[in-house]
Amino acid sequence: MISPWDRWYTTSCCLCCHVRTGTIILGIWYMLINAVVLLILLSALNDPVQYHYHLTSAELGTDFDVMDDANMCIAAAISLLMILICGMATYGAYKQHAAWIIPFFCYQVFDFALNTLVAISVVVYPNTVQDYLQQLPGTFPYKEDIMSTNNMCLVFAVLIFVGCILSFKAYLIACVWNCYRYVSGRSSTEVLVYVTTNDTAVLLPPYEEAIAIPPKEPPPQYVSA
């Protein structure tokens, strides 16, 4: 009987590329996003006056809380950690080291769980959508039109949007998991071939030595009295 893991296992992903190539592209993309976020945070820490001005300007509204330096440092540390994790996944997929892909896979599962909790909270507490819309700045485009829409329609639209995101994230998780299985299986095959080759070299003597071995002498004949 074929297990569910083997049934969904494949070595190709989107755009008909290999799972290793897809994992490398995904890791580089995540690294670029987190690098941009890290640069923005470092720029805000370097020039706090301009940073606070942009957050408290009339264009963005006054409903948002200004982040202090401690939260900015925490966010920068998280971005730096994400760059490290994505770099490990990219290096592990390129050099075929399966253990280096595990942290990135765990991050994907954690992110998927958080988005699932968001979808569940929208279903359990549908009024949270209206509360979130009220916190948006007044200059947000089509804010009044969206808030005048029926609450059930908003909840349905949010669930469809979150469902599409979850489906896409689940597909990326499957690609990274298949890459991990491919790399780990390939490493196991190489180790097996290496061990078999060494055992064969130890057990079998060279051909010249085997030819040079003199034949055994026959046992002496038994002489009866």
Picking from 113, 97, 107, the residue whose alpha carbon sits closest to that of residue 24 is: 97
What is the C-alpha separation between 142 and 133, in angstroms, rounded? 11
Per-residue pLDDT band at 54 (split at 50, 70, 90):
very low
- Residue 74 pLDDT: 87
Cα–Cα separations (whole angstroms), residue 54 to 45, 57, 60, 61: 13, 5, 8, 10
DSSP 204: S
Sign of CA dihedral 107, 112, 115, 116: negative
Q: Write the pLDDT tens digit of every residue in 105-132.
A: 999 999 999 999 988 888 888 787 777 7
Does residue 215 surpass a pLDDT of 50?
Answer: yes
With a CB cutoff of 8 Å and minimum separation 6, the contacts of 105 are 89, 173, 176, 177, 180
Segments of the chain assigned E as strands = none
Cα dihedral 34, 38, 41, 46, rounded to 10, equals -170
Residue 203's pLDDT band, with cuts at 50, 70 and 90, is very low
Q: Tell me which DSSP letter residue 8 carries.
A: T
Task: At 58, give phi and psi (nearest 5°).
Answer: -70, -20
Q: Which residues pair with 18 in a beta bridge?
A: 12
pLDDT in tens, 173-194: 988 998 898 888 876 554 444 4
Percent of the chain with pLDDT over 70: 65
Distances (CA, A) of 101 to 9, 84, 107, 167, 181: 17, 12, 10, 21, 10
Is 58 a residue whose pLDDT tops 70? Answer: no
Q: What is the pLDDT of residue 141?
A: 74
The pTM assigned to this predicted structure is 0.67
DSSP letters spanning 179-201: HHHHHHHHHHHHHHHHHHHHHHH
